[in-house]
Amino acid sequence: MGRESVAKAFADIRAALAVLNAEVDGRGAEPFSAADPLAGLADGNLDILAGAKEAEAGLAGLKARAAMKYANTAHALAPEMPARAQEMAIAAEIGAVLAIGPRAASTFLATSHALDTTLPLTLSALQSGTISWQHALALADEAATLDPTGAAALEGHFLDPDTPRPSTAAPAGDIPAHRLRHKARTWRERHHTDSIEKRHTKAVTDRRVEYRPDQDGMAWLSACLPAHQAMAGWNRLNALARAAQGPDESRTLTQIRADNFAEAILTNGSNAALSSTSRAQVLVTVPVVALMGLTDEPAMLDGYGPIPPSMARDLVANGADSFHRVLVDPRDGAPLEIGRTSYRVTKAMRNWLRMRDGTCPFPGCSNNSLDNEADHLLAWHHGGTTGISNLGQPCPKHHKLRHTTGWKPTPATKNQPPGWTSPTGRHYKSEHQDWEPPHWPGWLASSCVTDIHEPGSGSAGHAAGSGMPDDDDPPLVDLPEFEIPEDTGVAECDLPQDVFGEFYLRLALTGHVVTAAPT
């Protein structure tokens, strides 16, 4: 049948699209709901969107396979043509058929080749509609610099159904592609065969500033910098912009950030606001053994991801006042629980939420945790407690959405952010942090970890001396229509003690000699 079958298949697709377009407008043979036509039409269109998402992914997988089959046959038809010339001819042909430029055609071909040769799980998920083309592109980009074994491990971590993952965690295809790219980059940094120190040393030579004209008398000025410099600068701009807001300030937060940035680069930062003592906070999580230089695993920079341990050590050694030691469980790398019985949320608890969630926990939101607001999942006046498991940290937009619409968060735990339920009753799982156990030096017996008190067998959490001060506790941010009850406060000494404190101290002071913590 050949071409006739192809023509008929696409004719059937066009006929199906005509049916679906009629259903979008409620002009189908039957209404979505005879009892409530308007609500039925709204819910039916969500079903159409979900189906279209899967169909688009399946067509993207088809395009990738067709492109590679064409490329392979083109090579076979002209074996005497130089390889470079043949690649250019193939890209030009595919670009013309798809009406895309040469660079886009080359990117499409490179991704299609990766899916066809080294990423079978990704191609299968794309064809089944489980992930989109943008998800596949993110995985292919991060796998491009890995060997075949590493590439297989990367896609297996996100797509293999046998990979253990929490039941409350959103599948890779339900996470927006830009968030999956962030998670895949984090995994790559941790598992690359070359150390992050070696790769960073090479990458830092490519630091640069770029300029690009835009419309209406505007232009873009951007810089590629070491991660800790870029993140600290961004957080500082945010802190200054928030401090400048007030009833007499007509500019938006975004506009103030842009004005402060321009002021800094054009006047050497002489503006009084830029010279103020406002400092942005940067959380850095680094396993103590890496901090001591005994292992080479990455540290984690809040809002960015993995960084070389030398960068983290430099932040600590130079007395960066924004650095906080983040206590993690040596067995799985996850933070430990903090509890509090008063309504007020302490700085330590806010820092905990930042580490647990990373960004606003609303589906697809990438708002940095510094801009987010602590919020009770079960309201305080309905019996909710101020503990990590009953707190979320939505950004201002989604905090307002929660309190003014039918969107509701679902329960959380100490290490798992809340999911969300929409007004239509659809449930969206949360995006989880990818915690991994810290690396241990070979001389450090694995049994030493079991000598540590089990979390839950005693108190757990940050001690007053954990590097996370709690002075000037900021009040919980709530919308004006909600009454905040009087807070009598809780003394910092009433917070749980750090059960791993003796272990870390003993490791640091005994020079690699570890014994069980005293009982």
Q: 408: which DSSP letter?
A: E
Cα-based distances in Å from 144 to 62, 127, 286, 340: 21, 21, 27, 46
Q: How far apart are CA 479 and CA 403, in angstroms?
A: 8
- C-alpha angle with apex 440: 437 to 443, nearest 5 degrees? 155
- Confidence (pLDDT) at 278: 42
Contact 437, 449 (CB under 8 A): no
CA atoms within 13 A on the CB side of 39: 7
Q: How many CB atoms lie within 10 A of CB 457?
A: 9
- C-alpha angle with apex 8: 2 to 13, nearest 5 degrees? 130
Contact 450, 516 (CB under 8 A): no
The phi, psi pair for 260, rounded to 5°, reads: -65, -40
Q: Is the pLDDT of residue 41 over 80?
A: yes
- pLDDT band for position 28 (cuts 50, 70, 90): confident
Residue with tokens 């962030």: 182
Tell whether pTM > 0.75. Answer: no
Q: Which carries the bigger pLDDT value, residue 329 or residue 486?
A: 329
H-helix or E-strand spanning residue 121 = helix 120-128
Q: Which of 232, 369, 370 lies closest to 307 in space, CA to CA?
A: 232
- Confidence (pLDDT) at 496: 40
Residue with tokens 């913590």: 517
- 370 is written with which tokens? 């510094």
Contact 333, 435 (CB under 8 A): yes
Q: State pLDDT tens for residues 388-409.
A: 788 888 888 888 888 888 889 9
- Confidence (pLDDT) at 444: 59
Contact 461, 496 (CB under 8 A): yes
Range of lowest pLDDT (19-23, 303-307, 419-423): 303-307
Q: Is the pLDDT of residue 376 over 50?
A: yes
| pLDDT more than 90, % of the chain | 35
- Confidence (pLDDT) at 329: 58
- 372 is written with which tokens? 């987010």
- Helix boundaries (H) for 146-273: 148-159, 177-191, 196-203, 227-244, 253-267
Q: Average per-residue pLDDT in the chain?
A: 77
- 347 is written with which tokens? 């700085």
Q: Which carries the bigger pLDDT value, residue 61 or residue 400?
A: 61
**Complete edge-to-edge strand list for the sheet that includes strand 420-421:** 408-409, 420-421, 427-428
Q: Which of 489, 456, 459 lies closest to 472 in space, CA to CA?
A: 489
Q: Is the pLDDT of residue 439 over 70?
A: yes
- Confidence (pLDDT) at 370: 59
H-helix or E-strand spanning residue 429 = none
Q: State pLDDT tens for residues 205-235.
A: 999 999 998 888 889 999 999 988 888 888 8
Q: How far apart are CA 200 and CA 504, in angstroms?
A: 28
Q: Is the pLDDT of residue 381 over 90?
A: no
Q: State pLDDT tens for residues 457-480.
A: 333 333 333 333 343 444 444 433
Q: 250-288: b or e for each residue (b if 16 or more CB lie within 10 Å)?
A: eeebeebbebbbebbeeeeeebebbeeeeebbbbbbbbb
- Confidence (pLDDT) at 334: 61
- Confidence (pLDDT) at 292: 67
- 201 is written with which tokens? 């040393």
Residue with tokens 């830029």: 274
Q: State pLDDT tens for residues 265-305.
A: 888 655 544 444 444 455 677 666 676 677 777 887 777 77
Q: State pLDDT tens for residues 142-163.
A: 999 999 999 999 999 999 999 9
Q: Is the pLDDT of residue 454 over 50?
A: no
